[in-house]
Amino acid sequence: MNPVQPKQKVTALGANYSAQLDQLAADAAAIEQAYKLCAQRPWMMPDPAPGGWLRDLLDTTSIGAAFVRTENNADYVEAVSATPRGVLSDTIVSKAQVDYLASMERSFRLRHLSQVRAAFHAAGRRRGHGHTNGLFVKILPEYLERVIQAGSNPAAEQPDV
Protein backbone atom coordinates (compact mmCIF):
# COMPACT_ATOMS: atom_id res chain seq x y z
CA MET A 1 0.00 0.00 0.00
CA ASN A 2 1.40 3.39 -0.97
CA PRO A 3 1.09 6.15 1.59
CA VAL A 4 -0.74 9.30 0.50
CA GLN A 5 1.85 11.86 -0.52
CA PRO A 6 1.51 15.39 0.91
CA LYS A 7 0.35 18.06 -1.51
CA GLN A 8 1.07 21.78 -1.31
CA LYS A 9 -2.03 23.74 -0.29
CA VAL A 10 -0.75 27.33 0.01
CA THR A 11 0.44 28.68 -3.33
CA ALA A 12 0.19 32.45 -2.74
CA LEU A 13 0.29 34.98 0.07
CA GLY A 14 -3.01 35.86 1.75
CA ALA A 15 -4.94 38.83 0.37
CA ASN A 16 -5.10 40.76 3.66
CA TYR A 17 -1.47 40.06 4.47
CA SER A 18 -0.42 41.41 1.06
CA ALA A 19 -2.74 44.42 1.38
CA GLN A 20 -1.33 45.34 4.79
CA LEU A 21 2.29 45.01 3.62
CA ASP A 22 1.51 47.17 0.58
CA GLN A 23 -0.08 49.75 2.87
CA LEU A 24 2.93 49.71 5.23
CA ALA A 25 5.30 50.24 2.29
CA ALA A 26 3.18 53.09 0.90
CA ASP A 27 2.98 54.76 4.33
CA ALA A 28 6.74 54.40 4.83
CA ALA A 29 7.40 56.04 1.45
CA ALA A 30 4.99 58.89 2.28
CA ILE A 31 6.67 59.41 5.65
CA GLU A 32 10.09 59.46 3.98
CA GLN A 33 8.89 62.16 1.59
CA ALA A 34 7.44 64.18 4.46
CA TYR A 35 10.79 64.12 6.25
CA LYS A 36 12.62 65.16 3.08
CA LEU A 37 10.24 68.11 2.62
CA CYS A 38 10.16 69.00 6.33
CA ALA A 39 6.40 68.46 6.18
CA GLN A 40 3.90 66.87 8.53
CA ARG A 41 4.27 63.13 8.27
CA PRO A 42 1.11 61.04 7.85
CA TRP A 43 0.20 58.34 10.31
CA MET A 44 0.77 54.75 9.35
CA MET A 45 -2.72 53.29 9.04
CA PRO A 46 -3.78 49.78 8.02
CA ASP A 47 -5.56 49.20 4.74
CA PRO A 48 -9.24 49.12 5.77
CA ALA A 49 -10.58 47.43 2.65
CA PRO A 50 -9.87 43.71 3.23
CA GLY A 51 -11.92 43.50 6.42
CA GLY A 52 -14.23 46.44 5.79
CA TRP A 53 -12.94 48.54 8.70
CA LEU A 54 -14.18 52.15 8.61
CA ARG A 55 -11.04 53.64 10.24
CA ASP A 56 -12.93 54.63 13.37
CA LEU A 57 -10.24 54.63 16.07
CA LEU A 58 -12.82 54.86 18.84
CA ASP A 59 -14.60 51.68 17.74
CA THR A 60 -12.15 49.26 19.32
CA THR A 61 -14.23 46.21 18.48
CA SER A 62 -14.06 46.81 14.72
CA ILE A 63 -10.32 47.56 14.44
CA GLY A 64 -9.61 43.84 14.18
CA ALA A 65 -11.39 43.73 10.81
CA ALA A 66 -8.37 45.44 9.23
CA PHE A 67 -6.12 42.64 10.49
CA VAL A 68 -8.38 39.67 9.76
CA ARG A 69 -6.46 36.37 9.64
CA THR A 70 -9.28 33.98 8.76
CA GLU A 71 -7.87 33.06 5.34
CA ASN A 72 -4.42 32.25 6.76
CA ASN A 73 -5.84 30.23 9.64
CA ALA A 74 -8.04 28.28 7.21
CA ASP A 75 -4.97 27.54 5.06
CA TYR A 76 -3.19 26.15 8.13
CA VAL A 77 -6.13 23.99 9.16
CA GLU A 78 -6.44 22.61 5.64
CA ALA A 79 -2.71 21.87 5.49
CA VAL A 80 -2.76 19.80 8.68
CA SER A 81 -6.18 18.14 8.42
CA ALA A 82 -6.98 17.58 4.73
CA THR A 83 -6.24 14.40 2.83
CA PRO A 84 -3.66 14.50 1.43
CA ARG A 85 -2.00 16.68 4.04
CA GLY A 86 -0.15 19.82 3.07
CA VAL A 87 3.60 20.27 3.11
CA LEU A 88 5.77 21.97 5.72
CA SER A 89 5.89 25.24 3.77
CA ASP A 90 2.08 25.50 4.06
CA THR A 91 2.26 25.60 7.84
CA ILE A 92 5.24 27.96 7.92
CA VAL A 93 3.76 30.45 5.46
CA SER A 94 0.30 30.36 7.02
CA LYS A 95 1.48 30.85 10.59
CA ALA A 96 4.07 33.51 9.67
CA GLN A 97 1.32 35.59 8.03
CA VAL A 98 -0.96 35.10 11.04
CA ASP A 99 1.85 36.18 13.38
CA TYR A 100 2.72 39.29 11.36
CA LEU A 101 -0.90 40.40 11.09
CA ALA A 102 -1.42 39.82 14.82
CA SER A 103 1.73 41.83 15.60
CA MET A 104 0.52 44.65 13.37
CA GLU A 105 -2.82 44.65 15.16
CA ARG A 106 -1.25 44.68 18.63
CA SER A 107 1.07 47.53 17.67
CA PHE A 108 -1.76 49.55 16.16
CA ARG A 109 -4.04 49.00 19.15
CA LEU A 110 -1.23 49.91 21.54
CA ARG A 111 -0.63 53.20 19.73
CA HIS A 112 -4.30 54.17 20.24
CA LEU A 113 -4.75 52.88 23.79
CA SER A 114 -6.05 55.22 26.49
CA GLN A 115 -3.96 55.52 29.66
CA VAL A 116 -6.64 53.76 31.69
CA ARG A 117 -6.82 50.80 29.27
CA ALA A 118 -3.03 50.64 29.12
CA ALA A 119 -2.78 50.53 32.91
CA PHE A 120 -5.31 47.69 33.22
CA HIS A 121 -3.71 45.67 30.43
CA ALA A 122 -0.30 46.13 32.03
CA ALA A 123 -1.64 45.08 35.43
CA GLY A 124 -3.01 41.86 33.96
CA ARG A 125 0.28 41.07 32.24
CA ARG A 126 2.26 41.77 35.41
CA ARG A 127 -0.01 39.45 37.39
CA GLY A 128 0.58 36.66 34.88
CA HIS A 129 4.31 37.27 34.71
CA GLY A 130 4.81 37.29 38.48
CA HIS A 131 2.34 34.54 39.40
CA THR A 132 3.79 31.35 40.89
CA ASN A 133 2.20 29.39 38.01
CA GLY A 134 2.94 32.13 35.48
CA LEU A 135 5.12 32.51 32.43
CA PHE A 136 8.45 33.42 34.02
CA VAL A 137 8.23 31.37 37.21
CA LYS A 138 6.77 28.11 35.90
CA ILE A 139 5.80 27.86 32.23
CA LEU A 140 9.04 28.83 30.44
CA PRO A 141 11.42 27.06 32.83
CA GLU A 142 9.39 23.83 32.75
CA TYR A 143 9.12 23.89 28.96
CA LEU A 144 12.87 24.39 28.50
CA GLU A 145 13.65 21.69 31.08
CA ARG A 146 11.46 19.25 29.09
CA VAL A 147 13.33 20.20 25.91
CA ILE A 148 16.67 19.57 27.67
CA GLN A 149 15.37 16.23 28.93
CA ALA A 150 14.19 15.27 25.43
CA GLY A 151 17.57 16.12 23.95
CA SER A 152 19.55 14.23 26.58
CA ASN A 153 18.36 10.80 25.41
CA PRO A 154 17.39 10.87 21.73
CA ALA A 155 16.93 7.10 21.54
CA ALA A 156 14.25 7.03 24.26
CA GLU A 157 10.61 7.86 23.73
CA GLN A 158 10.40 11.63 23.79
CA PRO A 159 8.06 13.52 26.11
CA ASP A 160 5.44 15.72 24.51
CA VAL A 161 6.95 19.21 24.46
pLDDT tens-digit series, residues 142-152: 999 998 888 88
Q: How far apart are CA 86 and CA 74, in angstroms?
A: 12
161/150 Cα distance (integer angstroms): 8
Does the pLDDT at position 1 exceed 70?
no
- The whole-angstrom separation of Cα 66 and Cα 71 is 13
- b/e string for 117-146 if b means 16 or more Cβ within 10 A? eeeeeeeeeeeeeeeeeeeeeeeeeeeeee
pLDDT at 2: 61
Higher pLDDT, 153 or 118: 118
Predicted pLDDT of residue 69: 94
Q: pLDDT band at 157, cuts 50/70/90?
A: low
* pLDDT at position 153 over 80: no
